[in-house]
Amino acid sequence: MSRDYLDFDVAVTREGQGYAAHVLASPAGEASAPFTLPFAATDLAQFMIAVGPPRVSSRRLVPAEARVVDVKEYGRRLGDALLSGDVGRAFRESLTTATGQGKDLRLRLRLDAVPDLDPVPWEYLYDSRLGRFLTLSQETPIVRLLDSLERPPVVHVDAPLRVLVMISSPSDMPELAVDRERQLLTATTGDLVASGRLTVTVLEDATLTALQRALLDDFHVFHFIGHGGFDQQAQEGVLVLERDDGTAHRVSGERLGTLLHDARTMQLAVLNACEGARTSGRDAFSGVGQALVRQGLPAVVAMQTEISDRAALVFSHEFYYFLTRGLGIDAAICEVRKAMAVSDEASEWGTAVLLRSGADQPFSFTASSTAEAERPESRLESLYDAAKGALLARAPATALPMLEQIAAEHPDYQDVTQLLERVRPEAAPSDDGPTPRSRPELTLTQPLPQPEAQPEARLETRPETRQEAHPEPEPDTRRDRTPPPPPPDPHPRRKGNGFVRSLIGLVVLFGLFWLGMTQVPRWFKGATADVASACGPAAAAASSAATTFVAGCATTTPAIDGDFADWDGVPSHSIPHVIAQQGTPQREFGGDWQVVWDSSALYLRVHVVDPDVRSVNLATPAAWFNGDGFSFEFGPDARSLAPAATTRRGQDVHVMVGLSRDAPTSGVASINPAGRGTFTTGTRHPEITVGRADNLTGYDLEARVPWSSLQLKKAPARGTVFSMNVNLSDATSSPAAWRLRTMKSTNAARTAETQGFPHGWQTITLADEAS
């Protein structure tokens, strides 16, 4: 069933201060045209948030109307920019030629020369003349093409297609419900397994050693579910696996490719992102995928962002369904996108990126002659049985997306509507959308009736997923009781005094109005506003290049009080790189940070794991980086500076926030201003307010830094880019020697020697919404 394609190869390169698109090969020959990215960095960040799953906890930061994005309009702008001039003419002529030959046209993008354009969602490209998204049709798939030194031969697969699954959830990373992910994947593919077309093997340990041993057997697909990251120093994406002790093990695509390379039947990797996969301006999973393809893996499907449970269910089933029906991977991914597009109102269908080398299909598939005939209802049965099993195990968060998917495909299926009514989230999102994969715990709002004695689930249970027995809930008979009649009114004459009661009512309403206008705002820690009110107008000409970090507008102003509840839902970024070390380090030392902004200030929160807390020496504010706390370099966008250019007087600053013995619930802040090629001795800055809270494993700090303290004479506009690094300091334990023991940074290239060269700093965009 593989389709015949003619290829339309387009390479995007940098030309002067802009870009150019070059048609390297096509049925219509070569062509070139200037290319201008029609988005600013903030537009791209907001677009990827909008097409991804709703983030329940982060929705409070931006009003609903600011999140509404016209996906077609974004895709049209991207399509008009790429397929313009001679490039557009060549594309239309090539499409006509392919149609005349009874073939389809595959658009293959080469982005090797412009890695800053990797985060652009090319999969949403919309052709105005055709009136459709290209990737929603097998006739015009979009592939990201990479060169590979090796072109392994096509593998012929006699059913079943063998999938090796790794679900990684390190103990020191945001928790991923491993059993839940396993159940969702096995439930949605249960019908394919039952038919003999597919096998799914889940690794018990998410370690490199376990993977190496598993690959001694023949598998065709490696399916990874977990977290990713981006190594700024090595400029490569990493997957977060587990060590033997359960902690995080960051594995580069090159190291992973070393294992997959010798697995000769392995032809495809699926990298499925969960919350936290996009941790930098570049897509970590796409970076890993590129490394795997360059090492000889024929194809990789990598998610650009995390996807909702509903989308994951549809993707996993449809992708393996169409592969086992004999479709080539280009056509199969198009069919998956169509299935995702019609299964929900969300726009997650463009999340998957297809990376390939060469034009041959990774494998050809032949169904077994003994394979069972597929029944249309078998998938619904698999989902329903798994959902009922999850509900009986008191795991409604696992059951909910499966029930939602069944209801979307077959609303009248058995008692799925009644089951959905009994499962409710404790904190539902403000507007409808698919279930996010990092959603909070769910609860049953009504008791679940127990079924009659019969085999409950078709799904096989593994020894490690034992389910505890729960007592049968007693039926709620209160619904059937008739409420007793109200007692007689002992003062019937009061019913006639309507005027007095109306007057009292007016007084109460006035009092409530006064409370709402004057007192209620004081009861809340932050004041809520829309983006324009909180953060001012957008920049007239914002940068189009992706930045390391994106800070969202604080429409809910964080209160600097040491509580930290205001930071719920704000994306966090790790501070992983050791850049200075003296003596023996604390193994546990580390942390992460969050950032938002408004027209008055920059707000930062830092969470630190540090069992040995040491206060700063208040007598030397210029050296507070030696004590426990955090610091950050900050200045205007320095990407256009020469690498040898040094700090800029009156523009660059080094802000330090430390712990103080005399302020156990707050901290202290100082600023070292830029001097000639370095930062000079600074002073304490009391206008920077600091909140602090200690705990058993370390401490948390939050700070409000006014823009005036950062050398700005007026508030920055939305879309403005700054250069910035964030650093953590850990002081020695010895009371007689107050000095730095360990310093970590978000920037692996930030050292004492390079601190004074802003070109090497990381970058941050002041956006409407964080990412």
State the pLDDT at residue 447.
43
Q: How far is CA 160 from CA 212, 349, 371, 382, 719, in A?
A: 22, 26, 9, 19, 50
Query: At residue 305, does pLDDT exceed 80?
Result: no
Angle (CA) 689-690-691 rounded to 5° is 130
Q: Is the pLDDT of residue 730 over 80?
A: yes
- Structure tokens belonging to residue 527: 């004041």
Q: Supply the pLDDT for residue 502.
A: 58
Q: Which residue in this structure is represented by tokens 């449970």?
A: 309
Q: Which of 747, 731, 748 is nearest to 739 (CA)?
A: 731
Q: Which residue has the higher pLDDT, 521 or 156?
A: 156
3-class SS of residue 283: coil
How many whole angstroms separate alpha carbon 757 and alpha carbon 749?
11
Mean pLDDT throughout 356-373?
Answer: 71
254: tokens are: 């090159």
Other Cβ atoms within 10 Å of 179 Cβ, number: 17
pLDDT at position 767, please? 92
Cα→Cα distances 174→274, 276, 530, 571, Å: 10, 8, 30, 12
Alpha-carbon distance 426 to 443, whole Å? Answer: 6
Q: Is the pLDDT of residue 442 over 60?
A: no
Cα separation of the two ends of the chain: 40
Do the Cβ atoms of 297 and 257 come closer than 8 Å?
yes
- Mean pLDDT in residue range 437-458: 40
Q: Is the pLDDT of residue 707 over 80?
A: yes
pLDDT higher at 508 or 723: 723
Q: Which residues make Cβ contacts (< 8 Å) with residue 618, sequence separation at least 6?
A: 660, 661, 662, 668
> How long, in residues, is the chain?
771
**Residue with the two structure tokens 């500076």:** 641
Phi, psi of 470 (to 5 degrees): -120, 140
Is the distance from CB of 769 to CB of 552 less than 8 angstroms?
yes
**Which amino acid, 414?**
Q
pLDDT at res. 55: 43
222 near 260, Cβ under 8 Å? yes
* C-alpha distance from residue 768 to each of 97, 181, 542 (Å): 44, 32, 13
Spatial distance between the Cα atoms of 160 and 164, rounded to a whole number of angstroms = 12
Beta bridge partners of 13: 20
Which of 272-286, 364-378, 616-630, 726-740 is the least confident region?
272-286
pLDDT of amino acid 468: 37
Report helix, strand or coil for 388.
helix
Mean of pLDDT values over 115-139:
91
Q: Which one, of 535, 538, 566, 540, lies nearest residue 552 by Cα?
A: 535
User: What are 72-84's pLDDT values in tens digits?
Assistant: 888 999 999 999 9
The rounded mean pLDDT for the chain is: 78
What burial class does residue 726 get, using C-beta atoms within 10 Å of its C-beta: 0-12 exposed, 13-18 middle, 19+ buried? buried
Phi and psi at residue 653, to the nearest 5°: -140, 160
CB of 54 closer than 8 Å to CB of 433: yes
pLDDT (0 to 100) of residue 470: 39
Task: Tell me the mean pLDDT in the region 720-747.
Answer: 83
| Confidence bin at 303 (pLDDT 50/70/90) | confident
pLDDT mean over 535-564: 82
Token pair 């802003």: residue: 758
Mean pLDDT, residues 700-714 taken together? 93
Report the share of the chain in percent with pLDDT over 90. 37
Say what percent of the chain tops pLDDT 70. 74
Q: Is the pLDDT higher at 8 or at 70?
A: 8
Measured in whole angstroms, how far is the alpha carbon of residue 698 from the centre of its chain? 27
Instruction: Say yes or no to pLDDT of 347 above 60.
Output: yes
DSSP symbol at 519: I
Task: Look at residue 222 and tell me whether its pLDDT is greater than 90.
Answer: yes
The predicted pLDDT at position 386 comes to 80
For residue 271, pLDDT beyond 70 = yes
Question: Phi then psi for 273, rounded to 5 degrees?
Answer: -80, 140
Tell me the C-alpha distance between 671 and 656, whole Å. 6
Tell me the C-alpha distance between 659 and 701, whole Å: 9
- Whether residue 701 is predicted with pLDDT greater than 80 in this model: the reply is yes
| Listed range (27-36, 345-354, 366-375, 699-708) with the worst mean pLDDT | 366-375
DSSP character for 411?
T
Q: How far apart are CA 597 and CA 582, in angstroms?
A: 35
Q: What is the pLDDT of residues 482-534, one digit of tens each?
A: 444 444 444 443 344 455 555 566 655 655 555 555 444 433 444 445 888 89
Structure confidence at residue 507 (pLDDT): 55
Predicted confidence at residue 653, as pLDDT, reads 94
- For 3, half-sphere exposure in the C-beta direction (CA atoms, 13 angstrom radius) is 26
Question: How high is the pLDDT of residue 588?
Answer: 78
| Single-letter residue type at 21 | A
Residue 351's pLDDT band (cuts 50, 70, 90): confident
SS3 readout for 712-750: CCCCCCECCEEEEEEEEEEECCCCCCCCEEEEEECCCCC
Q: Is the pLDDT of residue 100 over 60?
A: yes
What confidence tens digit (pLDDT) does each residue in 383-425 have? 888 888 777 767 777 788 888 888 887 888 888 887 887 775 5
Q: 462: Cβ–Cβ under 8 A, 6 or more apart, which residues?
A: none
| Residue 59 in this model has a pLDDT that exceeds 80 | no
Query: What's the mean pLDDT in 633-654?
Result: 93
Contact 635, 647 (CB under 8 A): yes
Confidence of residue 34 (pLDDT cuts 50, 70, 90): very high
Mean of pLDDT values over 288-317? 86
* Cα 432 from Cα 416, distance rounded (Å): 19
- The distance of Cα 654 from the centroid of its chain, to the nearest Å, equals 30
pLDDT at 38 over 70: yes
708: confidence class by pLDDT, cuts 50, 70, 90: very high
Q: What is the DSSP string of 371-396?
A: PPPPPTTHHHHHHHHHHHHHHHTT-H
Hey, what amino acid is at 284? A
**How confident is residue 740, by pLDDT bands cut at 50, 70 and 90?**
confident
Is residue 160 reached through a cis peptide bond, with omega within 30 degrees of 0 on the bond before it?
Answer: yes
Task: Look at residue 621 in the predicted model and tell me its pLDDT.
Answer: 63
For every residue of 147-194, DSSP letters joined together read --S--PPPEEEESPEEEEEEE---TTSS---HHHHHHHHHHHTHHHHH
Q: In the prediction, which pLDDT does 399 show? A: 81
More confident call, 99 vs 234 = 99
CA 344 to chain centre: 19
Q: What is the mean pLDDT of residues 286-305?
A: 86
Rounded distance between C-alpha atoms, residue 281 and residue 549, angstroms: 6
Cβ atoms within 10 Å, residue 488:
6
Whether residue 465 is predicted with pLDDT greater than 60 in this model: the reply is: no
Q: What angle do CA 572, 573, 574 make, to 5 degrees?
A: 125
pLDDT of residue 638: 93
What contacts 54, CB < 8 A, 6 or more positions away?
308, 429, 431, 433, 434, 436
Dist. CA 571–CA 767, nearest whole Å = 13
Residue that wins the pLDDT comparison between 682 and 516: 682
Sheet harboring 221-226: ordered strands across?
Answer: 31-35, 18-25, 5-15, 104-110, 142-145, 352-356, 299-303, 268-273, 221-226, 161-167, 198-202
Tokens (6 digits) for 349: 């269908």
